[in-house]
Structure 1
Amino acid sequence: MRLRPLAALAASLVAGCALLAAAPTASADPARCSEYTLPVSTNLLLPLSMHGQLCLPAGAVSPTVQLLLHGATYNRMYWDLPYQPANYSYQRDMAANGLATFAVDEIGIGQSSRPLSAVITGAMQAAAVHTVVGDLRAGAVGGIAFSKVVLVGHSAGSAISIIEAATYHDVDGVLLTGMTHLPDAPVVIEDVALGLHPVTLDPQLASRGGDPGYLTTVPGSRGTMYYSAGDLDPLAVAADETYAKDQVSASSLLDIVGVGLASPISLNITAPVLLVDGTNDTGFCGLLRNCAYAGTLQDEEAPYFGPAAHLTTYVLAGAGHSVALAANASLYRDASRAWLSQYVGI
């Protein structure tokens, strides 16, 4: 996650952007994907909505659906990157294995409502997600009443998942990625200071009209912030920059991390929890957390979860922060399915 000069990577990204348009797409897509916009309830007296993509398998649909929450400066495309979907799309890979997923843009991001940045909080995001959980169970998404809902979060999305699960106790499992309860503060501060800027200054996103309280990544910085140099495909990084890059409310990020990660709220989770980190995620591993071994990470994180969470951990060797887009991401998806089968039932 640390920003560092990688001239070779930068050159590869430039070439990758040129090649991306010519990259072949899968000829036989095993997923049936459709988009929905849902009205959501929050603590604000504003009409807000969340937009998402439901992906179903080609055959019979499992009664379990995974509700996917992206990280800061991402949108829902983190879960369905339009480059080599067999390697990098969590949604299409799960569909190929018979599992349903619903990936949403969080409030303030993508095609969901984008209110003033200052009004967004962690509690507000959790309340919106709670509404979507109810919609999934009621059959309001795709006409399927799912009997089990599992929250799957990445980074800030993991913190929102923690707040939601600990507050509402309405999900059957919680899969957290790209987080620990003791991040490496100097690295995170460096990444924020050097890697983020107001969306109003960004050549890619400024035209959407967001206020200066929304931040996004400086052009070309995602490869060094979110990936490990030895475990990336430059074309995947280029696709990330093109399709998955989005904004985050600066004030909400402080609140989400403060409540979701720095407070003891995760002790209130009563559903099984899987925690996944890349061994080279320098923002959340290293100084205060040892992500080299799953057992060590589990011992360090166990005090933040109660017995009902049945905490399980998995580390993706060589990966950086964005584990779903690592070159070896298929290993983490396999581990996720094994956990779902054992602890949730699919």
Structure 2
Amino acid sequence: MTRVRLLLVSVAAAVAVAATGSLPAAAQANAWHRSALDVRVAVGVDGVSSATIHAEQYTPSRRARGVQVFIPGVTYDHHYFDLATARGTVSQARQAARSGWVAIALDRLGTGLSSKPAADSVTTAVHIASIDHFIDAISRRYARLPIVVVGHSYGSVVAEGVAARSDKVDALVVTGFMYRATPPSFEGFPELTPASTDPVLAGRKLPPGYLTTAPGSRKFFYHLPGTDPATLAADEATKATTTEAEIPGFSTEFGTGAFAAAVRVPVLVVVGQYDYLYKGGDPRAFVPDQKRAFGAARKVSAVLITNAAHDLALHRNAATTNALINRWAAASQRP
């Protein structure tokens, strides 16, 4: 048990509010500037020649220390990193901006305000190619600033693919995704249903074949004792889509680790104690398995967050997790 506890990040003294809601309005207004960012990118794979990636950008009021680019997972868009709820805003992106980072939370193709290709063209290869070119544009915009790519869940798979091929990525943060020798249980995973019939998404005229989680099923991604019900309600109200073409990318990377093996920049892996990907595994193997998967990376750290599940950025202790990521991102740039 002592070894297990050494892997855990204690959140007994977690902050009272998960992200930005506890700050006075004036302080929030002065900490960053929010703007929309739309970038037209080349793609050139799986029938998509070019597309537009939409992002929400948070620029710190002081001199920036670097750029964090956030990539959301399946059935999420940029709202995962900046979610307005009835009890305040839960925002990993704003917290990063308050810490001095240019925070860019994007919508993957097929989600949010980004381009909507045909469902069978919304693939992992398309995501990696489009976001690779998006990172190129960000690198030109913020020349000489280090770029840290932060993924969540399937977005972590995409982030690994981007980090493996891009010469513009300086560090990688993987959240809600991990490697293990034994398969996890997917029991209880939300049923995926047509977005065209979903109460939240039905009126958006999405292409045929777009899917989303069945109404009321997103609690699977949470450790409910550590979750504000208002956050869960806002998550349901802002949910996004996925396609069957995305699913092989997740399962293939989980099984082969091909992207991870090709990553050479520093890597941080962050997983919740109650994440379905972690449950049932050997706690003693968690850190060694991640270091083995990212065997070519310059350095690898792995942290397990207590009292949280898959959606780390949306639990009550999210501010503590976000602060850990921001500190690591800053330290990753040191020799």
TM bin (shorter chain) = 0.7 to 0.9
Q: TM-score, normalised by structure 1?
A: 0.83
CA–CA distance in 2 between the matches of 1:157 and 1:40? Answer: 18
Q: How far did residue 201 of structure 1 move? A: 1.8
Other-structure match for 2:248: 255
Question: For residue 280 of structure 1, what is the aligned residue in structure 2?
Answer: 274
- Of the candidates 218, 221, 229, which is equivalent to residue 224 of structure 2? 229
Higher helix share: 1
Structure-1 residue corresponding to 2:264: 270
Measure how far apart 1:183 and its partner are.
Answer: 9.2
Give the aligned residue type for 1:324. Answer: A
- Counterpart position of 1:20: none
Equivalent of residue 186 in structure 2, options 182, 185, 188: 188
Amino acid at match of 2:34: C
| Structure 2 residue matching 1:230: 3-state secondary structure | helix
**Contact 1:35–1:52 (CA under 8 A) maintained in structure 2:** yes
Change (3 A) 1:24 1:311: closer
Partner residue, 2:195: 199
List per-residue Cα deviations over 1:304-337 (Å, max 9, x = no partner). 1124341101111110110000100111112112
Query: Residue type of the partner of 1:267?
Result: A
Distance in 2, Cα, partners of 1:186 & 1:98: 37
Mapped pair 1:209 → 2:205: yes
Matched residue count: 309
Between the aligned partners of 2:200 and 2:126, the Cα distance in structure 1 is: 27
CA distance in 1, matches of 2:150, 2:321: 13
The answer to whether the aligner puts 1:323 opposite 2:312 as a matched pair is yes
Deviation track 1:94-116 (CA, whole Å, cap 9, x = no partner) reads 11121111111001111000011
TM-superposed CA distance for 1:344, in Å, is 2.2
Which consecutive residues of structure 2, in runs of 5 or more, have no partner in the other structure? 1-20
- Residue 145 of structure 2: aligned partner: 147
Counterpart among 312, 318, 337 of residue 301 in structure 2: 312
Look up the match of 2:16.
Answer: none
Which residue of 60, 67, 70 maps to 1:68? 70
Describe the shift of the 1:26–1:77 C-alpha distance in structure 2 as closer, same or farther (beyond 3 A): farther
Shift of 1:296: 4.4
1:170 is displaced (CA, Å) by 3.0
Q: What TM-score do you get using the length of structure 2 for normalisation?
A: 0.85
**Which of 99-108 and 166-175 deviates more?**
166-175
Between the aligned partners of 1:204 and 1:251, the Cα distance in structure 2 is 22
Paired residues of 1:73 and 1:247 also in contact (CA < 8 A):
yes
Equivalent pair of 2:195/2:202 in contact (CA under 8 Å):
yes
The answer to whether the 8 A contact 1:25-1:84 is kept is: no
Separation in structure 1 between the aligned mates of residue 206 and residue 99 of structure 2, nearest angstrom: 38
Q: Residues 132-181 of structure 1: CA distance to partner in whole angstroms, max 9, x if unpaired?
A: 11111111xxxx43531111000000000111112334310000000112
Residue type matched to 2:333 in 1?
V
1:199–1:211 contact (8 Å) kept in structure 2:
no
- Which consecutive residues of structure 1, in runs of 5 or more, have no partner in the other structure? 1-22
**1:332 and 2:321 matched:** yes
What residue identity is the alignment partner of 2:83?
A: L
- CA separation in 2, counterparts of 1:24 and 1:329? 13
* Distance in structure 2 (CA, Å) of the matches to 1:85 and 1:47: 39
Whole-angstrom distance in 1 between the partners of 2:158 and 2:185: 22
Q: What letter is aligned with 2:192?
A: L
Number of the residue aligned with 2:40: 39
Do the aligned residues in 2 keep the contact of 1:169 with 1:269 (CA within 8 Å)? no
- Kindly report the root-mean-square deviation, in angstroms, between the aligned alpha carbons of the 2 structures: 2.4
8 Å CA contact retained: 1:163, 1:259: no
SS of the residue 1:41 aligns to: strand
